[in-house]
Amino acid sequence: MGIFFSGPGQTYSNSMFIDEYINEFGWSRSQVSGVYSTATLIAGFTMMLVGRFIDRFGQRTMMVSVGLLFGLALLYNSMVTSIGMLAVGFFLIRLLGQGSMTLIPKTLVAQWFIKKRGRAFSFMTLGSFLSAMLFPIINAWLIQTWGWEFAWRFWAVLILLLFVPMAFFGVRNKPEDIGLKPDGEKSPVDPHTQPGLQPTLPEAEVSWTLKEAVHTRAFWAILICVGIPAMVNTGITFHIISIFGSNELSPEIAAMVLSLMALVGIPMSFVSGFVTEKIKTNYLLVGIFVIEIILLLLLLITNNFAMAIVFGVIWGVANGFERIGLNIIWPDYFGRAHIGSINGVASTMMVLGSAFGPLPFGFGFDTFGSYGPVLIASIAFPVIGIVCALLATKPEKA
């Protein structure tokens, strides 16, 4: 539910509001893209603090606190009247929604599961895809029926009255806090261990501090792998109505493609959750970047309903594998003890990638009158991702 209610801070939800702002206030697409990117950039740097707060105060306290602040931020966004207010509103929803509301559940799942972490992340990702599937459609309907201001207030009320109480009563930080063990194990000690000997930690339980992790090649290679999909996907999602419009496709088709992507992503995330338990995660990342190259090329020629369907299906396949692979690799490589701090840096990179994504697309369209040059240039990024994924082998701790 935390992942689901991060929706108002995600680009697939915000993209439904962009044209409303442009039409009502007369701002240019480059202006709105620039404000969105700048606000996201500042929010990204703040995510490292959120990660440290998770390690210090625990997921339950953070989830309730962030939920309350996020609900209030949505109410603020319903009152935007100037470009300055829009910048503040974007910052709040990107920090609290896209960043914090996704980071906290990721660290919570990592605390509760080790051996079955892949499939556990698959279930968590259901919230992500349901959110991406429903938010564009619901937002489009709310905006057309009652206006964009009402749409912001609708989600604020749901988060404050539904999600926050659920987090308060339903969340516990880790299984050890209530006398349990990860994966439902009754005892961490192997019954065959000889008396007097300390049991060997499972491989995934070898924990690294953030300071130790940053000295590994894998840490930096994975960070680049996190940033590239965030940048490319956010750029496409933020401008998808305009991209499709330049190819003579309606906003309704664009919203349908976002929902189709999420619908296809649900079964693919389940598949990838089990796959990550069988093959090396960095090989899965290589496949994701290959599909991204295909997506960018396909977007150049998507000019009818059938091609839009094909694009949405392939996009869903890529997202299904991406959301599991990039979530599970951190606790698998660096353990549970400091997962908040380490994942906080990863979330910073994700948000930074999201910050830079919309700007070149908006600038390219205003400059060239077409998205073609930007789409072609963007192919360089998944190529870099393939190289980094191959370099991101699991480190060994002395």
Query: In the chain, what is the greatest distance between 2 CA atoms, to the nearest angstrom?
Result: 75
Question: Taking the CA of residue 280 as centre, how many other CA atoms within 13 Å lie in the half-sphere pointing to its CB?
Answer: 10
What are the structure tokens assigned to 259, written together? 């929902």
What are the structure tokens assigned to 156, written together? 């604020």
Minimal CA–CA distance to 87: which of 140, 157, 25? 25
Q: What is the pLDDT of residue 193?
A: 43
Q: Which residues contact 74 (CB under 8 A, 6 or more apart)?
A: 8, 93, 152, 153, 155, 156, 159
State the Cα–Cα distance between residues 209 and 228, nearest whole angstrom.
Answer: 25
Minimal CA–CA distance to 3: which of 332, 266, 389, 318? 266
Beta strands in 153-251 (DSSP E): none
State the Cα–Cα distance between residues 301 and 18, nearest whole angstrom.
Answer: 24
Residue found by looking up tokens 């556990």 in the block: 120
Task: Label residues 111-124 b or e (16+ Cβ within 10 Å = b).
Answer: bbbbebbbbbbbeb
State the Cα–Cα distance between residues 291 and 285, nearest whole angstrom.
Answer: 10
State the Cα–Cα distance between residues 18 and 119, nearest whole angstrom.
Answer: 36
Is residue 178 within 8 Å of residue 58, measured between CB atoms?
A: no
Q: Per-residue pLDDT for the chain (398 aa), expressed as one digit of tens each? A: 999 999 999 888 888 888 888 888 888 877 888 888 888 888 888 888 888 888 888 889 999 999 999 999 999 999 988 889 999 999 999 999 988 998 899 889 888 888 888 788 888 888 887 888 888 889 989 998 888 899 999 999 999 999 999 999 999 988 888 888 887 876 544 444 444 434 444 444 677 888 888 889 999 999 899 888 888 888 888 788 888 888 777 777 887 887 788 788 778 877 777 777 777 888 888 988 999 999 889 888 888 888 889 988 998 888 888 877 787 888 888 887 777 888 788 878 877 787 777 778 877 777 877 788 888 888 999 999 999 999 988 888 77
Q: What is the pLDDT of residue 187?
A: 53
Sequence letter at residue 142: L
Q: What is the pLDDT of residue 205?
A: 62
Is residue 189 within 8 Å of residue 199, measured between CB atoms?
A: yes
